[in-house]
Amino acid sequence: MMEWLIAEIFAKYNYWVSIVLMLIGFYAMIAKGNLIKKVIGLNIFQTAIFLFFISLADIRGGTEPIVSEEIIHMGYVYVNPLPHVLILTAIVVAVATTAVALALVIRMYEEYGTIEEEEIIEKEREMGL
């Protein structure tokens, strides 16, 4: 019984890796005070989500999605390309989000002279904002 459980856990290691990456990214976004570290945490979190969705879309023994009537009648199973295309779109959105976030960090550094969250909050309090 125990061997079966261990084998089942290691058979789905990509899900475990994505969960660990999500937790690491989430921790970095919440616990770190440096804005660059928060952006890196966001990127790790996004990458974990990409891995998770691609893992869900994979079919063991599935062929490429070039489908003809002959292949369907022969009983082949093919991998649906839609999740892969959606993840490609999500990667483009993630790159754009990272670019905007880094531009905002640069602007905050120019305004406040720091990228530490606590120091920015303190300077805002001093300025009365």
77 pLDDT above the threshold of 80: no
Please state the rounded mean pLDDT for residues 98-107.
97
Residue 67's pLDDT is 66
Note whether 32 and 44 are within 8 A (CB): no
* pLDDT value at residue 106: 97
Q: How many domains does the chain have?
A: 1
Task: Check: CB of residue 108 under 8 Å from CB of residue 120.
Answer: yes
Note the pTM of the prediction, 2 decimals: 0.81
Share of the chain above pLDDT 90, in %: 60
Question: Does 92 or 75 have the greater pLDDT score?
Answer: 92
Q: Which domain holds residue 32?
A: 2-127
Query: For 28-97, what is the HEC assignment?
Result: HHHHCCEHHHHHHHHHHHHHHHHHHHHHHHCCCCCECCCCCHHHHHHCCCECCCHHHHHHHHHHHHHHHH
CATH of the domain at 97: 1.10.287.3510
